Structure 1
């Protein structure tokens, strides 16, 4: 019986992985410009971290986490998202004591959720995320949103839609919570069991329910914007003002609540409007989470961040037919004729690579015609041909595959020749 890949996972093969590498490098480059530093956290953590940090009323915790017990009897979970792990590290490593604040971090890596696989949604998926901890300035909210937009735009996406909302401070959310309970309670029996259990625990989660999204009470539910106190209104107005000053277009959607319990004040999503992208249009989501650091055992520290799916970003690129500027060429392909020449190319190949050039040679004992075809498949900029006669004369023939020009040069000058040609 053959062993196959687990359901909801994927192999990312050569020819495709280069897209991933380009996207990840471009995202890291943009984060560096914004002064965000990379952090790497474990793939598995204490399951309590996510129960406490993500929220025990979320689908992630209730239905989707991969939980296991290790040999020491500890309850662990494969991480379903990145924020809780970053905040745990922030607390554990006392990063709040660093002189440079806010602490600005980014991460990239696999996350795991047990959910029904579908287009753009996997059980193991790769998330790229950003967290800024230690500032309550609405300008940092606008910065985080602008960073997310910059990643998509600089990679080449155009059909984007930014949606923002305010969830208000704790006082505003408490008033909204009571209004939601009063709104849904008389007809809560018509909703799914999840919504019924969330009514008293976290009624805001009802608005995010996928099963009951078309229920008539969803459309008439009280808007959080009607319950914002003055401080929350001013905060949200400033975020909008800053985004407008950066010429970032956005829409305010009072129904946007996000899927995690730790959000407050600013929440946002970036969506794809590309034709044929699919039913699930969200590319990225994030928001402010004042209170999460304290929940995980740290001092009172405000925070804001976002996470994006690399898989969905690639799907959006495909939908918009964006070709990434990936360099698939190699600098030189070595063609050899005869046993001594073939042996000599081992040394020559090493010297090329050692001097920073991408190079390859034949390992299949192919004829010269087949070697040239291999050079074409590698999209070689130059082909260097070494035969027994050239080797005795200490010469090598170099062909420029773009112009077709050929020249015979000394083997002693071979590396310096490429340094002049390619640098």
Structure 2
């Protein structure tokens, strides 16, 4: 036997014996044979192979050796057996035996026997079966988890679609309600132009900004623009009440101070309890004339109107000191009278414009007089153009525009002979 063959046999995982047929003794045993029989390798060589097996296997072993030595097919002959307990070891070990003849160079006939520990094999098989069962169980768990995940994904998608449909419905309702709080058409005073715009900060909620222009008689028009505190249905209810109260009060007494006092009485009476409501409002009248228009107005806590003259001069109408409408039982309101000449524009706005966040530290747009600068750069102008310019400005604020904005503007057109290149 070559060295390489011996090394190969010594490293074989199964037990290997070489048995002399004539004497029945073991001529060679590898390391695995010693391990399987629980004996020393040196103790195996030279003993009768029958000593390794239980007595009931003796005739079977003899027949196996005879059959293997007589076979010329080269096909191993196998059977099952039990090893006798080694000295000091009472239990036997189940093995499978394969035998094949081999003639040595000396001419002696030998049988090569291989032993496989059935207990070890069964343990390995059990481990393999357990591993396969565990793998199948893990696969079943993974498939079940995938099914649950797909079910959850489907439910999530359905919930998303439902939420999206509900949000769309809310937006439609909010938009519809908002339109009912704004006039579908503005009635421009005779010989003048009027323009307005409403910019909602959110399409999901009804805002509280409002405006209107309406005739009081054939010579005078009333107008107002304001901002109710809060948002949603509550603010919409206050806005609706405010609009109708202003129009009704102006019919009985068009004096701007009186109109705001009447509105304050109504709001303070209706909303002075657990859910107080108030608003800022500017109310006024416009009386066009042959050389311009006379504007009488009063403010209840509202930002000042801005006037842009034909020569691009800009000034704010002084209504400082006017207090919120509906907050106090007897508030103070500030009034002013302004004459608009041909080419002049007067614009009104809510504080969503001036308080838009435009810089770090919550810097607001008009903290440093930016509105006056912006309007001056756009002048001279018209009612339509100033509303369009301010609308474009709102679009640049992005997320910084945190409140609704209402815009309203009047202008007295230039006479044809005086008209310059003002962009409409």
Higher percent of residues as strand? 2
Q: Same fold (TM over 0.5)?
A: no
TM-score for both structures, normalised by structure 1: 0.21
* Higher normalized contact order (CA 8 Å, seq sep 6+, divided by chain length): 1
TM-score for both structures, normalised by structure 2: 0.21
